Amino acid sequence: MALAILCSGGDAPGMNAALKKFVDHVYKCGQTPWFIYDGLEGMIDGTIRQAYHKDVAGILHNGGTIIGSSRSKRFYDPVYRRQAFENLQKYGIDGVVVLGGDGSYNAFEVLSREHPVNFVGIPGTIDNDIYGTEYCLGVDTALNVIRHAVDNIRDTASSFKRAFVVETMGRECGYLAAVTAITSGAEICAIPEICFNKDAAQEQLKKEISGGRRYVLAIVAEGTKMTEEIRQWLSDEIGMETRVTVLGHIQRGGNPTVRERLMAFEFTVHAVDLLLHNHSVRKAIGYRNGKFEAMDITDVNAGHYKIPDNILRDLHYLD
Per-residue HEC secondary structure of the chain comes to CEEEEEECCCCCCCHHHHHHHHHHHHHHCCCEEEEECCHHHHHHHCCEEECCHHHHCCCCCCCCCCCCCCCCCHHHCHHHHHHHHHHHHHCCCCEEEEEECHHHHHHHHHHHHHCCCCEEEEEECCCCCCCCCCCCECHHHHHHHHHHHHHHHHHHHHHHCEEEEEEECCCCCCHHHHHHHHHHCCCEEEECCECECHHHHHHHHHHHHHCCCCCEEEEEEHHHCCHHHHHHHHHHHHCCEEEEEECHHHHHCCCCCHHHHHHHHHHHHHHHHHHHCCCCCEEEEEEECCEEEEEEHHHHHHCCCCCCHHHHHCCCCEC
Catalytic, 127? Answer: yes
Residue in 11, 94, 127, 129 annotated catalytic = 127
Which residues are known to be catalytic? 127
